[in-house]
């Protein structure tokens, strides 16, 4: 169980599109505006986990042309987000839409988020807790995962709010932007490597 908890923490604290967008909503609109988006991410993440656990995702990914269409769409979207972050100029460049992204945006992000599939596959195919009861092991992993996932996303939302309130120098803001963009590119590269 300790190895599973450590894996969840390390897989979730790395920046991906969900947490970067969550932080961006916090920076642009405040804490309350991000709660609906987090709820959508949570439900969307649960649906991805169910798709992985039941094998539906594996079946979909065995259809070569569909797998590549989904992969290209996901990679293109994430690279677009990375570009938006890197070219934000002197502003801290989280995703800054005209209005806050809400529940449906969070829900729709997870199925195209390659990191969500990598995390779910890693956590639910490894780290045996109750090898004699797959059902209870799955339930325990889902509960423990969400007990960690929700606070981590709330922390990212809070971090976005705090970053907005800081008076950061222009060159530091540019470095933050580039660092976040590179982190998103790494997520894309890892997803591409994991799906091959």
* Mean pLDDT, contiguous 10-residue spans, the chain (196 residues): 85 78 77 91 94 89 82 76 64 53 84 82 86 90 93 91 75 73 73 62
- How high is the pLDDT of residue 140? 94
97 vs 29: CA distance, rounded Å: 10
Cβ–Cβ < 8 Å for 106, 38: yes
- How high is the pLDDT of residue 7? 84
Residue ranges of the alpha helices (H) in the chain?
Answer: 2-13, 17-29, 31-54, 56-61, 64-86, 103-109, 114-125, 134-165, 170-195
- How high is the pLDDT of residue 127? 84
Token pair for residue 180?
């976040």
CA distances from 112 to 50, 59, 87, 93 (A): 15, 16, 23, 22
- How high is the pLDDT of residue 90? 47
Token pair for residue 31?
């804490």
46 vs 115: CA distance, rounded Å: 13
- How high is the pLDDT of residue 46? 94
- How high is the pLDDT of residue 148? 93
């Amino acid at each position: 169980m300790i190895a599973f908890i450590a894996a969840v923490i390390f897989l979730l604290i790395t920046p991906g599109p969900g947490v970067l967008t969550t932080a961006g909503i916090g920076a642009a609109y405040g804490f309350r505006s991000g709660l609906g988006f987090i709820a959508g991410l949570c439900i969307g993440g649960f649906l991805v986990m169910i798709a992985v656990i039941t094998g539906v995702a594996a079946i979909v990914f065995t259809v070569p042309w569909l797998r590549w269409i989904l992969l290209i769409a996901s990679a293109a979207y994430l690279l677009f987000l990375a570009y938006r972050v890197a070219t934000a100029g002197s502003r801290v460049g989280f995703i800054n839409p005209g209005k806050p992204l809400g529940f449906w945006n969070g829900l729709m992000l997870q199925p195209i988020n390659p990191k969500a599939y990598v995390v779910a596959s890693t956590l639910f195919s490894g780290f045996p807790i109750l090898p004699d009861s797959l059902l209870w092991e799955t339930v325990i992993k889902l509960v423990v995962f969400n007990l960690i996932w929700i606070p981590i996303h709330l922390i990212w939302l809070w971090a976005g709010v705090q970053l907005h309130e800081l008076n950061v120098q222009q060159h530091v803001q540019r470095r933050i932007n580039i660092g976040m963009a590179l982190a998103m590119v790494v997520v894309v590269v890892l997803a591409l490597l994991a799906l091959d």
